């Protein structure tokens, strides 16, 4: 939403110290934005009485038309902190604003005031044995590691919302092993977050009612095949498709919408036709086709080579074919969140990932590696974890970390770093995090795939 007369919200303060301009949260003095000179001047002039149009005209006259793009970009990135007709009582003087220099990158203050997406990894436990699973789950029927309290989760959701979060991505292993999940999701909905969740858990009539009571509008089922033999091979349960059908009907009776996600491997390239027919018949909104990606440690005897599609374009062809056959079902290829908006990996760019115990983490596929942890959300704020300098270093490794790889001398090194590197893909293909990933812009990643052992 574009504000006509923007100003910093009452919980935020613009402060200049040692010629550096930052926006702080008044309650705990946490810095949530570092401002360049023009940005500082723009925020200083936003007093709730000047219109956005007048601000743009002022900068255009003073600095030329080229300044307008920076004005618009600043208003966009700081939009979660702005409200209509707010007039801060303690803005810095124009003299102080005129002395502002470029931000100090070593402070670790990220470009965005807070994450746009929260990614909550609910539990590492799962009762399934899905051959394509990347999560390396602990086999079990209880979320023994889900120690974040419901009260603290509610606080996290509310704070993140004030910083600009719009989405809660819920993952696991199996999220519904946490028994109070419907109510926790209700807290996220109340905080204004859109829920993205995919499950293989049975949704009983009782759970469907709890989801509806919590005003959870939608969830997605993972379903890769309808035939019993296919499901037995892919996830270890021959009766799974019938379970999904019952779950769909329970949700539909309570007015909770649902969709379907299908992982396409070399073992089930024809199964999506039957899945689409079931999804359409039961009233699913969307069917997403997910191309299989190599995993670090396959759960079953099937290897990456058994499951890898010879050509990913088959997924696009399937989507087109199924869309024509099932016009009331929206069929699409799944796109990872980070691949939109110019990011290859969005963790630390627009997304904050945190684990069942509350620790921030670098990669949802490498949750076992404690070296990739950030701050603990049980004892620190979302803003503090988001702007943690140590975690920024983990997100943007230096060129020296890539010694001995083509990345170390690649002219695209900085561009790749800013767009987010996939350290999981680098690990799977090269045996280390600091290596070319699947989106290598310099084509340095071309080469053989090597087997790797779990990290010690």
List domains and CATH numbers for the chain.
6-107 (3.90.930), 117-339 (3.20.20.70), 396-456 (no CATH)
295 torsion bin: left (phi>0), alpha (psi -120 to 50), beta (else) = beta
For residue 312, CA distances in Å to 22, 264, 319, 331, 437 come to 46, 9, 12, 16, 17
The C-alpha atoms of residue 286 and residue 297 are separated, in whole angstroms, by: 30
Identify the burial level of 61 via C-beta atoms within 10 angstroms of its C-beta, where 0-12 means exposed, 13-18 middle and 19 or more buried.
Answer: exposed
* Proportion of the chain above pLDDT 70, given as a percent: 95
Cβ contact 208:256 at 8 Å: yes
Position 1 confidence tier, pLDDT thresholds 50, 70, 90: low
For residues 329 and 85, what is the distance between their CA atoms, to the nearest angstrom?
A: 44
pTM here is 0.92
- 164-to-69, 81, 135, 350 alpha-carbon distances in Å: 21, 8, 28, 10
Host H or E run for residue 264: strand 257-264
Tell me the C-alpha distance between 18 and 102, whole Å: 11
Average pLDDT, the chain: 91
- pLDDT at position 57 over 80: yes
d(CA 366, CA 183): 28
Mean pLDDT of 80-100: 91
pLDDT for 454: 33
Angle CA 307–308–314, to nearest 5:
115
Structure tokens at 17: 């110290």
Q: What is the 3-state secondary structure (H, E, C) of 341-400?
A: CCCCCCECCCEEEECCCCEEECCCCCCCCHHHEEEECCCCCHHHHHCCHHHHHHHCCCHH
For residue 20, the model assigns a pLDDT of: 97
Distance CA 420, CA 348 (A): 8
Per-residue pLDDT tens for 251-270?
999 999 999 999 999 999 99
pLDDT band at 452 (very low <50, low <70, confident <90, very high): very low
For residue 82, the cross-strand partners are: 8
> Does 364 score more than 50 pLDDT?
yes
State the Cα–Cα distance between residues 71 and 61, nearest whole angstrom.
13
Question: Tokens in use for 268?
Answer: 């089930």
Location of structure tokens 């204004």: 192
Q: What pLDDT sits at residue 341? A: 55
Instruction: Report pLDDT for 340.
Output: 46
Asked if the model's pLDDT at residue 451 lies above 80, the reply is no
């Amino acid at each position: 939403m574009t504000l006509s007369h923007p100003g910093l919200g009452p919980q935020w303060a613009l402060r200049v110290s040692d010629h550096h301009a930052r926006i702080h949260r008044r309650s705990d003095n946490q810095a949530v934005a570092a401002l360049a000179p023009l940005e500082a001047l723009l925020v200083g002039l936003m007093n709730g009485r000047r219109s956005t149009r007048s601000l743009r005209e002022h900068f255009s006259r003073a600095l030329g038309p080229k300044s307008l793009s920076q004005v618009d970009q600043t208003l966009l990135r700081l939009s979660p902190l702005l409200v209509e007709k707010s007039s801060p009582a303690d803005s810095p003087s124009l003299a102080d604003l005129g002395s502002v220099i470029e931000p100090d990158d070593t402070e670790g203050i990220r470009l965005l005031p807070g994450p746009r997406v929260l990614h909550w990894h609910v539990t590492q436990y799962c009762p399934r044995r899905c051959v394509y699973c990347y999560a390396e789950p602990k086999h079990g029927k209880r979320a023994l590691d889900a120690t974040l309290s419901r009260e603290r989760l509610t606080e996290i959701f509310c704070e993140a919302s004030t910083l600009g979060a719009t989405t809660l991505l819920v993952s696991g292993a199996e999220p519904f092993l946490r028994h109070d999940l419907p109510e926790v999701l209700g807290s996220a909905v109340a905080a204004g977050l859109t829920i993205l969740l995919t499950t293989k858990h049975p949704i009983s009539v009782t759970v469907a009612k709890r989801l509806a009571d919590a005003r959870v509008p939608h969830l997605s089922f993972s379903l890769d095949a309808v035939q019993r033999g296919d499901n037995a091979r892919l996830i270890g349960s021959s009766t799974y498709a019938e379970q999904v059908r019952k779950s769909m009907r329970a949700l539909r009776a309570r007015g909770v919408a649902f969709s379907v996600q299908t992982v396409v491997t070399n073992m089930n390239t024809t199964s999506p036709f039957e899945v689409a027919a079931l999804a359409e018949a039961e009233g699913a909104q969307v069917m997403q086709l997910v191309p299989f990606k190599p995993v670090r440690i396959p759960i079953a005897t099937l290897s990456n080579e058994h499951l890898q599609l010879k050509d990913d374009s088959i997924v696009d062809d399937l989507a087109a074919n199924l869309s024509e056959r099932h016009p009331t079902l929206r069929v699409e290829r799944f796109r990872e969140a980070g691949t939109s908006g110019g990011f290859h990996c969005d963790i630390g760019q627009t997304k904050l990932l945190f684990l069942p115990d509350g620790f921030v983490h670098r990669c949802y596929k490498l949750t076992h590696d404690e070296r990739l942890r950030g701050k603990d959300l049980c004892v620190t704020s979302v803003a503090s974890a988001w702007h943690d300098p140590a975690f920024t270093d983990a997100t943007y490794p230096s060129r020296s970390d890539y010694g001995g790889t083509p990345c170390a001398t690649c002219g695209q090194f900085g561009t790749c770093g800013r767009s987010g590197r996939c350290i999981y893909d680098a690990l799977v293909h090269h045996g280390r995090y600091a290596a070319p990933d699947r989106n290598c812009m310099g084509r340095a990643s071309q080469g053989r795939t090597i087997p790797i052992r779990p990290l010690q």
